[in-house]
Amino acid sequence: MIISSLSIMITLIISAVVMMIAFLVSKKTITDREKNTPFECGFDPKGSARLPFSLRFFLIAVIFLIFDVEITLLLPLATILKLVNVFSWLLTGIFFILILLLGLYHEWNQGALDWAD
């Protein structure tokens, strides 16, 4: 019990020291205005380069990636049809597609797929 608490204390102390050293070393002492501005071939930017990012677009992209990965998980079902029992193959495929459809319905019901507001 004492060895366990001692090792936890040593781990916490070492990690705190490493974090403090990293914090002190990473401080910028000189902030340069030119380094903080966007670079467009040597010219001043015509508009604001720090445009706000559309959170709606990000959510649509994440949903697309999730469903895209799940579709790639469905593709091997076609190749193993001859190797497994047809009933278990069909049950697995229908169950997986049902999960996809329930997820799509949930996203649609929550309004995540409504692009224009």
Local confidence pLDDT in tens for the 117 residues of the chain: 677 888 889 999 999 999 999 888 876 656 666 666 666 566 666 666 566 777 778 888 888 888 888 878 888 888 888 888 889 888 988 998 898 889 889 888 888 777 665
Q: Can you give 21-36 as a three-state secondary structure string?
A: HHHHHCCCCCCCHHHH
Query: For the chain, how many structural domains are there in total?
Result: 1
pLDDT one-digit tens code per residue, 89-101: 889 889 988 988 8
What's the predicted TM-score (pTM) here? 0.47
Q: How far apart are CA 61 and CA 69, in angstroms?
A: 12
pLDDT of residue 34: 62
Nearest Cα residue to 113 out of 75, 60, 50: 60
Q: Is the distance from CB of 55 to CB of 111 less than 8 angstroms?
A: no
Which residues span the domain enclosing 74?
A: 55-110
In a domain, 1, yes or no: no
Q: How far apart are CA 23 and CA 65, in angstroms?
A: 36
In a domain, 68, yes or no: yes
